[in-house]
Amino acid sequence: MKFEWKEDQQNITVGAAVSGKPNAWGYIDHFRLVKVPEPVQADLFVERVDGISKNFIKGADVSSIIALEESGVKFYNFKGEEQDIFQTLAEAGINYVRVRVWNDPYDSSGRGYGGGNNDLTKAIQIGQRATANGMKVLVDFHYSDFWADPAKQKAPKAWSNLTFEEKKEALYEYTKESLQALRNAGVDVGMVQIGNETNGGLAGEKEWPKICELFNQGSKAVRDVSKDILVVLHFTNPEVPGGYETIAETLNKNHVDYDVFASSYYPYWHGSVENLTAVLKHVADTYGKKVMVAETSYVYTYEDGDGHENTAPKSGQTLNYPVTVQGQAHAIRDVIDAVVQVGEAGIGVFYWEPAWIPVGPPENLEKNKEIWEKYGSGWATRFAAEYDPEDAGKWYGGSAVDNQALFDFHGHPLPSLNVFKYVDTGAVAPLKIDEIKNIYLSVYEGEKIPVPEKVSVVYNDGTEKSETVAWDEAAIEDAVRKGIGRYEIRGKVLGIYNVTMYLEIKPKNYVLNPSFEEEDRSMWKITYRNGTSPHTDFLNKASDAKTGNYSLHFYSDQAVDFMVEQTITGLEPGYYNFNLFLQGGDAKDAEMYIFADTGEKLYKTGTSVNGWANWVNPEIKGILVLDGTVTIGASIKVGAGAWGTLDDFYLYRVGDYTPDGEKGGQGETGNHGGTGNGQQENAKDEKEEQGILVPDKFARGHHPEAESNAPARKLPETGTSHFQILLAGAVVLFTGALLFLKAKRLSGQKS
**Residues 47, 197, 213, 689: which is the catalytic one?**
197
Q: Kindly report the number of other CB atoms within 10 A of residue 542's CB atom.
A: 15
Helix H, strand E, coil C: the string for 441-501 is EEEECCCCCCCCCEEEEEECCCCEEEEEEEECHHHHHHHHHHCCEEEEEEEEECCCEEEEE
User: With contact defined as beta carbons under 8 Å apart, do 632 and 604 qualify?
Assistant: no
Question: Minimal CA–CA distance to 560: which of 449, 663, 630, 635?
Answer: 635
322, 549, 570, 572, 654 from 628: Cα distances, Å: 47, 31, 5, 6, 14
In whole angstroms, what is the distance from residue 485 CA to residue 89 CA?
49
- Per DSSP, 403 falls in state G
In whole angstroms, what is the distance from residue 232 CA to residue 59 CA?
14
Contacts of 566 (CB under 8 A, 6+ apart): 511, 512, 523, 524, 525, 631, 632, 633, 649
- Per DSSP, 691 falls in state -
CA-only gyration radius of the chain, Å:
30
In whole angstroms, what is the distance from residue 255 CA to residue 624 CA?
63
User: With contact defined as beta carbons under 8 Å apart, do 270 and 280 qualify?
Assistant: no
In whole angstroms, what is the distance from residue 28 CA to residue 37 CA?
27
Q: Is 197 a catalytic residue?
A: yes
The separation between the first and the last C-alpha atoms of the chain, rounded to the nearest angstrom, is 119
Question: Minimal CA–CA distance to 632: which of 514, 516, 484, 508?
Answer: 514
> Is it true that the peptide bond before 313 is cis, omega within 30 degrees of 0?
yes
User: With contact defined as beta carbons under 8 Å apart, do 191 and 61 qualify?
Assistant: no
The DSSP code sequence of 312-327 is: -S-TT----S-SSHHH
Q: Beta strands 427-428 and 40-41: pairing type?
A: parallel
13, 401, 404, 695, 739 from 407: Cα distances, Å: 47, 11, 9, 38, 82
Consecutive H or E run containing 710: strand 709-710
In whole angstroms, what is the distance from residue 695 CA to residue 514 CA?
25
Q: Is 47 a catalytic residue?
A: no
Q: Beta strands 676-682 and 643-655: pairing type?
A: unpaired
Question: Minimal CA–CA distance to 394: which of 611, 196, 607, 200?
Answer: 611
The DSSP code sequence of 514-573 is: TTS-SS--TT-EEEE-TTPPP-EEEEE-GGGSSSSSEEEEEE-SS-EEEEEEEEE--PPS
User: With contact defined as beta carbons under 8 Å apart, do 106 and 117 qualify?
Assistant: yes
Residues of 109-125 as b/e, b for ≥16 C-beta within 10 angstroms?
A: eebbbbbbbbbbebbbe
Question: Minimal CA–CA distance to 632: which of 613, 618, 616, 615?
Answer: 618
**Residues 47, 205, 295, 353: which is the catalytic one?**
295
Q: How many helices (H) and strands (E) does the chain have?
A: 13, 28
Residues marked active site are found at: 197, 295
